[in-house]
Structure 1
Amino acid sequence: MVPTAPHSAARRAVVVGTGAIAHSHVRALRALGERVEVVAAVDLDADRAAAFAAEWSVPRTAATLTEVLAGDEVDLVHVCTPPSSHVELSREALAAGASVVLEKPVALSLAETDRLLAAERASSGSVAVVSQHRFGSGVQRLRSIVEDGSLGRPLVTTCLTQWYRSDAYFQVPWRGSFAVEGGGTTMGHGIHQLDVLLAVLGPWEEVSAMAARGSRPTQTEEVSVATVRFGDGSLASVVNSAVSVRETTVMRFDLELATVELTHLYGYGDDDFRVTAAPGHEGEVETAWAREPRGVPSSHEAQFRAVLDALDAGDAPPVALATARDTLELVAAVYASAFTGEPVRRGQINASNPFWSAMDGTGAVWR
């Protein structure tokens, strides 16, 4: 059962999957001190679970989440496994009354995500989806500036996720197919920046996209390029790549009174932003950008702190599953447009649409 404990009581957390991202989760949880206690590590690979537990002083390991839930009171389940197992593990945790912290992507499809939403509604627990780039102070500040219109409305945005993955990257068994990973660089890499795009600009309306592959041993795309129209009429150009030797992550927001640029790779701080004022508006731009919050880098720790604060207050934790579904719908729309050659509008991918049940829908163009 999920306790109604005061802030001072440690919540009991389980980490499922002890690969690389699980270390980021435990590192972040340890930084939150006595607010949370990691009581078990779950992995089908007993040796890997044992090594993880020894490194982080986790008192118990198990091969299945079922085993842990049957024996212990659990408040939080951190799901750090490959995408194909996310939904079933999360549904199991929710059925036991625990809350879930779920890595991206949420699921392999919108259909699976909707199943998980139904399980959440039937549970006393909740799902928070890891979207750590929303929680850096720079993005928080930019979001508030766009919301209140202090620097005018957005006009055009550039969103570049240009990363490099070698052939060896795709040798991991669960990578490189729509059936097991859910997609390629759009789903696995660019989704983080797409999430920030929606956090800052609000709902998208229409997508036109293309995708390509050919230089890596993968069935999924290595590159996608999309144009996104938002509800306010502004446009965004989006590039996702796994073949860019000089890696970079760039987001540029051109507002009426300023350009705000964020350049980083896998995480950012305040110093990674550059703000340029329109002529004659230097003072108001300086005032707007000087507002709080400040000094918080994007990180799992920042989001997990917000999750615990929300649970302590009895509120839905950020980023809620329904919010993450909006981002996944945009990813699905990129695939649908790329593979059909037609623009896709928000809400168009419903249960009667083949891209609702699988990201490759009617089939990738290179099949």
Structure 2
Amino acid sequence: MIRVAVVGTGGIAGICHMPALAEHADRAQPVAAVDPDAARLSAFRAEHSVPAGYADLATMLEAERPDLVHLCTPPFLHAEQVIACLRAGAHVWCEKPLCLSLAEYEAIAAAERETGRYAAVVFQHRFGSGARHLRELVEAGTLGRPLVVRCDTTWYRPPEYFEVPWRGRWETEGGGPTMGHGIHQMDLMLSVLGEWEEIRAMAGRLDREVETEDVSTALIRFGNGAMATVVNSLLSRREESYLRFDLTDATVELRHLYGYRNADWSCSSPLWDPGEDVSGSHGAQLGAVLDALEHGERPPVGGDGARRTVELITGLYASAFTGRPVLRKELTPDHPEFGRFHARMNGGMAL
């Protein structure tokens, strides 16, 4: 039985993480929750029958020594808390984004090497049956070569959404819809297409009183030759998450909002058959995380898989702020123009 602690008892913990743990109750058991808000913590523990509660992470780690920590805290806390958990001997499954920069990612990777523990990020859309089937077909070449891709996250968030103090700020959220919303669709795209080589992007603050962008767009060229267009928006009244893959022998589409089932996928080829209907959910990814930990292996969407998504977003912002195309190989801390984006997604610049 894997002993689990949940850190942060806000909406995502109760809506997604506790149902995921319930799906795997035969393998994982919540033993503690952490939140500085005593009333919220008490209500969470009562609702989900969590035995112990703590006001701070350090005290919980010392007292409980959990095997796995689910981090459900605001983004600016992630890197520091991930490293603290790793050093306390716990593996980590962290809500997106795993960290706010490539520099923070590298600090997490160093802590993994130091401790022998692993950190993975919540990118649940990779784990539904449709996404798994698409990757299998692309890897086998069954539908031909990927050519043209669309990746749209067109959502809507009203002005009051940004009244939460950490939202819409570079220092605490790390970015706008590129970092906090479209990251799921872009990660799913990356899981299908692999390494990217070049990105050209724009980002703007069109209608919300925030520091970050509320819209971004990008053109991406991948190592396999495929080219993609990306749109991330929080201003779109008709909300949709949309992916389209045009391959030499078929077109595959996914239309959904916050999660999908097999019925949300379509394909022009009769070879499309994702089989068992598994949603792209926290429960599906948690199962894969537990499988890996039980075998002493790195959980999926950690290591290089996690870095690739942070790297793409860094490249998007670097291109948007400088007005230049960015090559993936140029995203190094010593690059004369793009090095500033290694430590901060906006490179210390203002929109």
- Fold match, TM over 0.5? yes
Aligned-pair distance for 1:321? 3.3
Structure 1 contact 225–239 (Cα < 8 Å) conserved: yes
Percent identity reads: 53
Q: Who is 1:354 aligned against?
A: 340
Distance in 1, Cα, partners of 2:52 & 2:308: 36
1:13 and 2:4 correspond? yes
Distance in 1, Cα, partners of 2:92 & 2:227: 34
Distance in 1, Cα, partners of 2:276 & 2:247: 21
One-letter identity of the residue aligned with 1:129: V
Which 5+ residue runs of structure 1 have no aligned equivalent?
Answer: 1-9, 277-284
Distance in 2, Cα, partners of 1:86 & 1:362: 20
Which 5+ residue runs of structure 2 have no aligned equivalent?
Answer: none
Partner-residue secondary structure (3-state), 2:76:
helix
After superposition, residues 190-339 of structure 1 pair within 5 angstroms as: 190-276=182-268, 285-287=269-271, 289-290=272-273, 292-339=274-321
1:118 and 2:110 correspond? yes
Q: Who is 1:26 aligned against?
A: 18
Q: Which runs of 4+ in 1 moved over 4 A?
A: none
One-letter identity of the residue aligned with 1:270: N
Q: Who is 1:363 aligned against?
A: 349
Distance in 2, Cα, partners of 1:52 & 1:166: 27
Distance in 1, Cα, partners of 2:196 & 2:276: 28
Q: Who is 2:160 aligned against?
A: 168
Aligned-pair distance for 1:65? 1.4
Structure 2 contact 7–69 (Cα < 8 Å) conserved: yes
Aligned-pair distance for 1:34? 2.1
Distance in 2, Cα, partners of 1:348 & 1:46: 46
Q: How does the TM-score come out when normalised to structure 1?
A: 0.93
1:38 and 2:22 correspond? no
One-letter identity of the residue aligned with 1:156: V
Q: Residue deviations 1:318-355, cap 9 Å, x none?
A: 11133111101100111000010000111311122000
Aligned-pair distance for 1:214? 3.0
Q: How does the TM-score come out when normalised to structure 2?
A: 0.97
Q: Residue deviations 1:148-176, cap 9 Å, x none?
A: 11111011000000000000100001101
After superposition, residues 127-138 of structure 1 pair within 5 angstroms as: 127-138=119-130
Q: Residue deviations 1:283-309, cap 9 Å, x none?
A: xx313x12x553111000000001111
Distance in 1, Cα, partners of 2:104 & 2:275: 36
One-letter identity of the residue aligned with 1:340: T
Partner-residue secondary structure (3-state), 2:151:
strand
Distance in 2, Cα, partners of 1:272 & 1:159: 15
Q: Who is 1:81 aligned against?
A: 73
Between 1:62-71 and 1:221-230, the stretch displaced more is 62-71
Distance in 2, Cα, partners of 1:96 & 1:58: 21
Count, aligned residues: 346
Quote the RMSD (CA, aligned, Å). 1.0
Distance in 1, Cα, partners of 2:120 & 2:192: 19
Distance in 2, Cα, partners of 1:61 & 1:93: 17
Aligned-pair distance for 1:73? 2.9
